[in-house]
Amino acid sequence: MRPTVYIKDLKNYTGKEVTLKGWLYNKRSSGKIKFLILRDGTGYTQCVVVKGNVSEETFENADKITQESSFEITGTVKEEPRAVSGYEIDTKSLSIISLANEYPITPKEHGVEFLIDHRHLWIRSRRQVAILKIRHRIVKAIRDFFDERGFTLFDPPIITPNACEGTSTLFEMDYFDLGKAYLTQSGQLYGESGAMAFGKIYTFGPTFRAEKSKTRRHLTEFWMVEPEMAFYDLDDNMDLAEEFLEYIVQTVLKDRAEELKELQRDTSKLEKVKRPFPRISYDEAVEILKKKGVDFQWGNDLGGTDETLISEEFDKPVMVHRYPAEVKAFYMKRDPANPKLALAVDILAPEGYGEIIGGSQREDDLNLLLSRIKEHNLPQDFFEWYLDLRRYGSVPHSGFGLGLERTVSWICGLEHLREAIPFPRMIYRNTP
Ligand code: 4AD
Ligand code: MG
């Protein structure tokens, strides 16, 4: 039987007859010759159909086939350095599986809203395929990194009874007779229980924020990976985050060069993402802002524009540590050298991509944690289980969260997070 092959494997079939299946990406005619670009998800290849060399039926099919019709084609694989895949198919027969209606996305320019309305079709385009293949590689790099370093994958619940990152961005729902429940903002608190059971864990899944911000950096549903490590202090945490980012970027450069080229990404900027990364304190970050003429009050959180101004100073991700405790979450440990500061770290990506990692050393003292919960007006009874982690063998521990879509967006050089996930969810959009 003739093998059905994928475009990526054509190099193994030079001179042989093969059958390929896929969709019509594009078509050109020149008299008695038709050039059909077939895509099958693994690549693109040109199929040449010459009148007289094929049956009348095959030539008619090649004539009437429309953009995005599905079809099956049989022919001989020829090396052709000028063609898209480096190979072309000298067609013997072509049958249409399903003739497509007039396809809404044409090679002409479309507005972004139109494209997002057609996201289910837009994902077929070369650029979107390249982005989502890079996303897949990043996900695998994340898993490999932790799996190879003795971390256990630990899946936290998505339905939770309380907030982790503050109450202002919770998606709320009625939960049977138990009152309100919420979609998780972060798996961290559960991750901490895992770290006390396994030593080192990572959670990896969707998280939800009812963000009112309509920026290009915010989604309401996004993926986050959160490692949590027993016996790690803030410095250990920063060392791990640094190694992690270098690993992700260098892996994508190595394994997804073709896709980065498709996106016309300036890879020289990514090549520079090698350890060590600059580490500056919040105080030093404020100095940078002041030098750049920003009227910045010590004690405020860094905004998106501030982050961009700081990261402009560096050509690698920059780690900003020791923020005012006031602007950070209740669970962060205070700096013993200055209790006004939290042992927090945010990592800002270069080229204006903003915060991609947020992390900290956690408060491991029962009484201090209790008073933080009270100061933040959080319901203590919902946190009893979390306080147990400080009652039964508490240890210093740390962790961080990396936003997947922000990472994809940075590595791919995207304008907006909406292209970094198959079906983006934003404050003003929940379709398709
Ligand atoms: O800084 P965040 O809020 O930190 C946490 O959730 C901690 N519990 C993490 C931890 O220590 N385990 O979020 C972490 C990262 C951000 O740096 C950003 O990359 C991403 O999650 N992120 C978002 N990505 C897309 N859309 C949003 N609305 C995001 N909010 C946060
Ligand atoms: Mg943050």
pLDDT tens by residue, 282-310: 999 999 999 999 999 999 999 999 999 99
Mean pLDDT computed over 54-66 = 98
- Can you give the residue range of the structural domain that contains 214? 119-419
In this prediction, residue 164 carries a pLDDT of 82
Domain for residue 424, yes or no? no
Q: Where a domain ends, among 98, 133, 151? A: 98
> Which of 185, 204, 216, 224 to probe ligand 1 with, by most ligand atoms within 8 A of CB?
224
**17 touches ligand 1 (CB under 6 Å):** no
Q: Which atom of ligand 1 is nearest to the CA of 407?
A: 19
Q: Where a domain ends, among 41, 69, 98? A: 98
Whose tokens are 């994928």? That residue is 6
Residues 54 and 128 in one domain: no
> Which of 406, 407, 408 to probe ligand 1 with, by most ligand atoms within 8 A of CB?
406
Residues 50 and 168 in one domain: no
**226 touches ligand 1 (CB under 6 Å):** yes
Mean pLDDT computed over 254-263 = 97
In this prediction, residue 130 carries a pLDDT of 98
In this prediction, residue 356 carries a pLDDT of 98
Domain of residue 11, CATH code: 2.40.50.140
Domains in the chain: how many in total?
2
191/123 Cα distance (integer angstroms): 33
> Which of 151, 186, 319 to probe ligand 1 with, by most ligand atoms within 8 A of CB?
186
Instruction: Give residues whose Cβ lies within 5 Å of ion ligand 2.
Output: 358
pLDDT at 108 over 90: no
Domain of residue 142, CATH code: 3.30.930.10
pLDDT at 392 over 90: yes
In this prediction, residue 213 carries a pLDDT of 81
Cα of 273 vs centre of ligand 2, distance in Å, is 21
List strand residue ranges (DSSP E) for 172-284, in order: 172-174, 180-183, 200-208, 221-230, 279-281
Mean pLDDT of the chain: 96
Specify whether the backbone of 155 is left (phi greater than 0), alpha (psi in -120 to 50) or beta: beta
Q: Whose CA is nearest to atom 24 of ligand 1?
A: 403
Q: How confident is the model at residue 1 (pLDDT cuts 50, 70, 90)?
A: low
**223 touches ligand 1 (CB under 6 Å):** no
What angle is formed at CA 66 by the lines to CA 62 and CA 72, rounded to 5 degrees? 55
Q: How confident is the model at residue 167 (pLDDT cuts 50, 70, 90)?
A: confident
Cα of 281 vs centre of ligand 2, distance in Å, is 15
**190 touches ligand 1 (CB under 6 Å):** no
Whose tokens are 């690993």? That residue is 247
Mean pLDDT computed over 21-40 = 96
Mean pLDDT computed over 104-125 = 94
Q: Whose CA is nearest to atom 2 of ligand 1?
A: 358
Domain for residue 432, yes or no? no
Tens digits of residue pLDDT in 349-380: 999 999 999 999 999 999 999 999 999 999 99
The percent of residues in the chain predicted with pLDDT above 90, rounded, is 94
pLDDT at 190 over 70: yes
Mean pLDDT computed over 195-221 = 95
Contacts of 428 (CB under 8 A, 6+ apart): 214
In this prediction, residue 187 carries a pLDDT of 97
Mean pLDDT computed over 251-269 = 98
Domain for residue 222, yes or no? yes
**404 touches ligand 1 (CB under 6 Å):** no
Residues 33 and 168 in one domain: no
Which position has the higher pLDDT, 167 or 29?
29
Domain for residue 111, yes or no? no
Residues 134 and 278 in one domain: yes
Residues 172 and 210 in one domain: yes
Domain for residue 110, yes or no? no
**Lowest mean pLDDT, pick from 138-142, 166-170, 278-282:** 166-170
pLDDT at 211 over 90: no
Q: How confident is the model at residue 2 (pLDDT cuts 50, 70, 90)?
A: low
Which position has the higher pLDDT, 76 or 108?
76
Residues 404 and 278 in one domain: yes
In this prediction, residue 7 carries a pLDDT of 96
The CA radius of gyration of the chain, in Å to the nearest whole number, is: 26
Residues 276 and 400 in one domain: yes
Q: Whose CA is nearest to atom 15 of ligand 1?
A: 403
Mean pLDDT computed over 166-184 = 94
pLDDT at 150 over 90: yes
Cα of 256 vs centre of ligand 1, distance in Å, is 26
Domain for residue 75, yes or no? yes
Residues 91 and 189 in one domain: no
Domain for residue 196, yes or no? yes
CB 327 within 8 A of CB 298: no
Residues 402 and 260 in one domain: yes
Rounded to two decimals, what is the model's pTM?
0.97
Residues 80 and 127 in one domain: no
CB atoms within 10 A of CB 321: 24
98/24 Cα distance (integer angstroms): 11
Residues 70 and 167 in one domain: no
In this prediction, residue 3 carries a pLDDT of 63
Nearest one of 360, 375, 406, 377 to 189, comparing CA atoms? 360
pLDDT at 212 over 90: no
In this prediction, residue 377 carries a pLDDT of 92
